[in-house]
Amino acid sequence: MPVSRGTALITGASSGIGEALARQFAANEFDLIITARRETRLQEIATELGTEVKIVSCDLASPAGVDHLIAEVGDAQIDVLVNNAGIAHNGFFQDQTTPDIENLLALNISALTQLTHHFLPGMINRGAGKILNVASMASFQPVPSLAVYAASKAFVLSLTESLSEELRDSGVSVTALCPGLTQTDLLDEIQGSDIPPILVSSATDVARQAYDALMNREVIRIPGFTNQAAIGWAKHQPRWLIRGMGGLFARFGSAGRAGPRRAN
């Protein structure tokens, strides 16, 4: 049997990028703790991974869910923390319900922050560890019709960059993954199916790039040359233009759809 390279805790692992990340880490001989709401789906994935896998079913949008996950992990050493679980709302801000907004902030920001805060001290004490925070290209600019989602991902990017400097000499690295359009259930439900395939990345490729960036201790990874070029171009444009382009990006193929969409 191969020797484990450590244990990776992956949130939102039942589909999309989270599932692809679980497969990527398993292929690289990590033991796993995978969590999401859908226990049956987690069990199906676990049987296919060929590595030691612990399943924790919980809803990280609630404080009880975060507490449950932490309790289930217990004293296990977490060598890699992957904060992937997320939610998005498509539609105008004024049309969102207060519970929907609170749910998004709880999952995208609070849960990620709490889990990082909980597992980081152990990594610092050992002088080794890695944290991957899944942000988005939306981290870099406002996105009308995805206003709260984009703002939450801007938080994730800012937190990641700040921690990377605070932890510079600690042996712990923090990486922000900033994917663009990726073929997942979340994309299907929010954006529709009329997006040109050339603009959409596969979850498998995004996960591979995320893993490489994490192992190389990169602070930010934007998968795909097209996405990198778009972000580079946007840095040199006036804010009014970026706001307008963001509106087009958010509405592409959505035809006014609204509602919460979970990435896990």
**Any idea which residues carry the catalytic annotation?**
149
The set of residues, in sequence order, having a beta carbon less than 8 Å from that of 72 and lying 6+ positions away, is 33, 54, 56, 58
End-to-end CA distance of the chain: 31
- Helix segments in 129-238, DSSP class H: 147-166, 185-191, 203-215, 225-234
Residue with tokens 């692992």: 13
Q: Which two tokens stand for residue 215?
A: 């192992």
CA–centroid distance for 246 within its chain: 20
**Residue 187 φ then ψ, to 5°:** -65, -45
Burial of 101 (0-12, 13-18, 19+ CB in 10 A): middle
Which one, of 156, 204, 187, lies nearest residue 25 by Cα?
204
Q: What are the CA-CA distances from residue 232 to residues 70, 89, 219 (Å)? A: 38, 26, 16
